[in-house]
Amino acid sequence: MFKFNGFATLGAIYNDSDDLGFHPNFKIPAQRSFSFAPDSLIGAQVNINVNAQWDAVVQAVYRDKLDDSALNYLDVAFLRYHVNNNWEIRAGRMNTDIYFLSEYKSVGYAYLWARPPSEFYAKVSSVSQFEGADLLYKHSLGNGFLQLKLGYGETDATVATTGSAVDINFGNMLIASMTYQQDNWQIRASFLDTKVDEYGADLSVIDDAIALFPPSIWPGGPELLDRFDFVGKKQQFFGLGYQYDNDLWLVQSEIGFIDSEWDIERDTLSGYVSLGYQPGNITYYATISAIHPTKDNFSDDVGEISSDASATIVAVIQSFSPIIKESLENNRIKQHTFSVGAKWQISPSLVAKLQVDYSVISDNGFALWRVYEEPESGQKVTVSSLNLNWIF
The predicted structure's pLDDT at residue 165: 83
The answer to whether 368 and 355 are in contact (CB under 8 A) is no
Handedness of CA 109, 112, 117, 121 (dihedral sign): negative
The predicted structure's pLDDT at residue 238: 98
Q: SS3 string of the chain? A: CEEEEEEEEEEEEEECCCCEEECCCCCCCCECEEECCCCCEEEEEEEEECCCCEEEEEEEEEECCCCCCHHHHEEEEEEEEECCCCEEEEEEEEECCCCCCCCCCCCHHHCCCCCCCHHHHCCCHHHCEEEEEEEEEEEEECCEEEEEEEEEEEEEEEECCCCCCEEEEEEEEEEEEEEEEECCEEEEEEEEEEEEEEECCCCHHHHHHHHCCCCCCCCCHHHHHHHHCCCCCEEEEEEEEEEEECCCEEEEEEEEEEEECCCCCCCEEEEEEEEEECCCCEEEEEEEEEEEECCCCCCCCCCCCCCCCCHHHHHHHHCCHHHHHHHHHCCCEEEEEEEEEEEEEEECCEEEEEEEEEEEEEEEEECCEEECCCCCCCEEEEEEEEEEEEEC
Nearest to 289 by CA among 338, 362, 231, 224: 338
80-99 as b/e: b if 16+ CB within 10 A = beeeeeeebebebbbbbbbb
Dist CA 376 CA 365 (whole Å): 12
The predicted structure's pLDDT at residue 282: 97
Interacting residues of 49 by C-beta distance below 8 A, sequence separation 6+: 1, 2, 3, 55
Query: Crossing angle, helix 204-211 and helix 221-228, to 10 degrees?
Result: 160
Dist CA 290 CA 256 (whole Å): 11
The predicted structure's pLDDT at residue 299: 62
Predicted model pTM: 0.90
Per-residue pLDDT of the chain (392 residues; tens, 9 = 90+): 899 999 999 999 999 999 999 999 999 999 999 999 999 999 999 999 999 999 999 999 999 999 988 888 999 999 999 999 999 999 999 999 999 999 999 999 999 999 999 999 998 999 999 999 999 999 999 999 999 999 999 999 998 887 778 888 999 999 999 999 999 999 999 999 999 888 876 666 667 777 777 887 888 777 777 777 777 888 999 999 999 999 999 999 999 999 988 877 778 999 999 999 999 999 999 999 999 998 765 566 777 788 877 888 878 778 777 777 777 766 789 999 999 999 999 999 999 999 999 999 998 888 899 998 888 788 999 999 999 999 99
The predicted structure's pLDDT at residue 208: 74
